[in-house]
Structure 1
Amino acid sequence: MNPPSIVTLTTDFGEGSRYVGAMKGTLLSINPAVTIVDITHAIPPQDVLQGAIALAEATLYFPEGTLHIAVVDPGVGSTRRILYAEIAGQRYVLPDNGLLSCLADLAEPTTMRSVENKDWFRPDVSRTFHGRDIMAPVAARLSLGADPAELGPLCMDFVRIALPQAEQVANKINGEVTEVDSFGNLITNITADMLEGVPRGDGTRVHCDDHETFGIFEAYSDQPPMTLIALVGSGGKLELAIVDDSAKIMLGVRVGTAVTVEW
């Protein structure tokens, strides 16, 4: 693979964190020409599932060969591995803690290695910041064309976390809120495929916590401001939104809240 010199960052560090700057400095000190793209630094702290969802929904749109670093790493400094993986033409450097789970549901890794070559690390590796001291220098060297075979041994086993699955029964789909986006929209695990053939009119009821709305729409503008609306979002999943406002704030709903569609 002849990769472009693009490295993305997905972390739970928080927007404006100095830790992001430290990782970027490490990347640039090894490859000053690298293009660094921030996917998000707003993953909830230690929330591996949200990190896995973000990787699956964002990284596959990048040019083939792009390198993606993900640091949502509650086990940093432990015996958990760091992995290099190739999936669907993209390349990943990340802890082996379930961050690959959603990506692997879309396409299985074609190559995976345990990152063990200390010659590629920073000289002094902190037990609490492997993103800066291991993952960033590894990705920087790969962005310069270094051979992934030098990272460490091949391995095809990796940690998978259980992903919440929606269930479809007669005239009803039971799902849940799996993430909240930056607009406060509630994104569920009910997919567009599951909604195939479901009536879109007022005869279909969408229920979430103590709130309900009728019909499934195509765009936020299909309903007036401050209206609760259900629609299939850009990620191909049913979401609930308050038009021109935040459903998270207005409804007080969190990740894990049950959502049902009935018709």
Structure 2
Amino acid sequence: MPIITLTTDFGLKDPSTGAVKGAILSELDSVNIVDISHQVAPFHITEAAYIIKNTYSSFPKGTIHIVGVDSEITPENKHIALQLDDHFFICANNGIMSLIASEIKPQKIVEINIHDAVETNFPVLDIFVKVACHIARGGTLEVIGKNIPEIKQLKDFTPFINQDQKQIIGHVMYIDNYGNVVTNISRKIFESVGKGRKFKISARSVSFSKIHESYSHAINFDKPKESREEDGKKLAIFNASNYIELAIYKSNPSTVGSASTLFGLKLNDTINIKFEDLNAG
């Protein structure tokens, strides 16, 4: 049974998500539709890219992923379908796939060209669904598009590193359900630039000089529970995706607050890491 996943910024109130699912079921007798997320911030392609990067590989090879974020077709925002890591992705060519494609080269990319045959003002419903169902039936990408050599790249995914290797300037690319703040600074970049040097992470009014391997790694469980610094403890970690994340231990955005609210951080805010001089000491 084919699997089609949905990642959109539609939310759950409006009829859009239900309409897309209904259109898929009307075209395919047997299909497994999986919601990845419909709570992407409106038009926020960086947030969508992070979600897709960290979910798609959990699905079986051959899964078809519809990404309905910033999907209106314009002369600068064409539609593409691509095969990457033996998965299929259908989305706008707005840079949304470049976080994944920077690490894994797409096997095939086509610019979708069936628009003349389909009248639509809702491309996810009328175009992306048709392409997904075509692939699910075993159809090839060449039938629905023309081959193109590459996809649009987003510079937002790459932090700035200054010339003397003393500073990384990144930004907030995702805020999770707990209010934890995920930066676009990966462990690989941090370790490559830092080379084991002391450092200071600054973001608005907070700073960190240590990065933990997990949330609980920041807690000293050798101390009696009543004397531990737990709830409300601020920390920086390398998260499960190996990006630097700023967090509050056991935060709750609706009660005690979260890293985002307590640190005053929102999407695209700047994160600054300064390293000591290589010749220091």
Using the size of structure 1 for normalisation, the TM-score is 0.86
CA distance in 2: counterparts of 1:134 and 1:195, whole angstroms: 40
- Offset, 1:64: 1.1
- Offset, 1:176: 2.3
Q: Structure 1 residue 160 and structure 2 residue 156: aligned?
A: no
Change in CA separation of 1:117 and 1:177 when aligned onto 2, cut-off 3 Å: closer
Report if aligned partners of 2:174, 2:181 keep a CA contact under 8 Å in 1. yes
Change in CA separation of 1:151 and 1:204 when aligned onto 2, cut-off 3 Å: same
Residue number in structure 2 paired with 1:150: 143
Q: Structure 1 residue 209 and structure 2 residue 204: aligned?
A: yes
CA distance in 1: counterparts of 2:271 and 2:141, whole angstroms: 43
Q: Structure 1 residue 252 and structure 2 residue 264: aligned?
A: yes
Report if aligned partners of 2:73, 2:79 keep a CA contact under 8 Å in 1. no
Report if aligned partners of 2:175, 2:260 keep a CA contact under 8 Å in 1. yes
- Offset, 1:174: 3.2
Q: Structure 1 residue 198 and structure 2 residue 196: aligned?
A: yes
Change in CA separation of 1:40 and 1:86 when aligned onto 2, cut-off 3 Å: same
Higher mean displacement: 97-106 or 223-232:
97-106
Change in CA separation of 1:150 and 1:214 when aligned onto 2, cut-off 3 Å: same
Q: State which of 8, 15, 19 in structure 1 corresponds to 2:5.
A: 8
Report if aligned partners of 1:31, 1:141 keep a CA contact under 8 Å in 2. no
Instruction: Return the letter of the residue paired with 1:192.
Output: R
Instruction: Return the letter of the residue paired with 1:234.
Output: A
**Aligned-residue RMSD, C-alpha:** 2.3
Residue number in structure 1 paired with 2:247: 241
Higher mean displacement: 164-173 or 151-160:
164-173
Report if aligned partners of 1:70, 1:93 keep a CA contact under 8 Å in 2. yes
Deviations 1:86-121 (A, max 9, x none): 1111111111222222122111222112222369x7
- Offset, 1:5: 0.4
Deviations 1:234-256 (A, max 9, x none): 11011000111121122221122
CA distance in 1: counterparts of 2:64 and 2:156, whole angstroms: 25
Residue number in structure 1 paired with 2:238: 232
Residue number in structure 2 paired with 1:141: 134
Residue number in structure 1 paired with 2:92: 95
Unaligned runs of 5+ in 2: 220-229, 252-257, 276-281
Residue number in structure 2 paired with 1:220: 215
Deviations 1:11-48 (A, max 9, x none): 11113432011101111111131111111111111122
Residue number in structure 2 paired with 1:113: 110
CA distance in 2: counterparts of 1:27 and 1:219, whole angstroms: 40
Higher mean displacement: 24-33 or 49-58:
49-58
Could you tell me the percent identity over the aligned residues?
A: 26
Q: How does 1:15-34 map to 2 (within 5 A)?
A: 15-34=12-31
Using the size of structure 2 for normalisation, the TM-score is 0.81
Deviations 1:197-247 (A, max 9, x none): 536xxx653321111234211221233110110110011011000111121
Q: State which of 183, 192, 195 in structure 2 corresponds to 1:188.
A: 183
Instruction: Return the letter of the residue paired with 2:101.
Output: A
Instruction: Return the letter of the residue paired with 1:183.
Output: Y
CA distance in 1: counterparts of 2:15 and 2:101, whole angstroms: 31
Residue number in structure 2 paired with 1:42: 39
Report if aligned partners of 1:10, 1:39 keep a CA contact under 8 Å in 2. yes
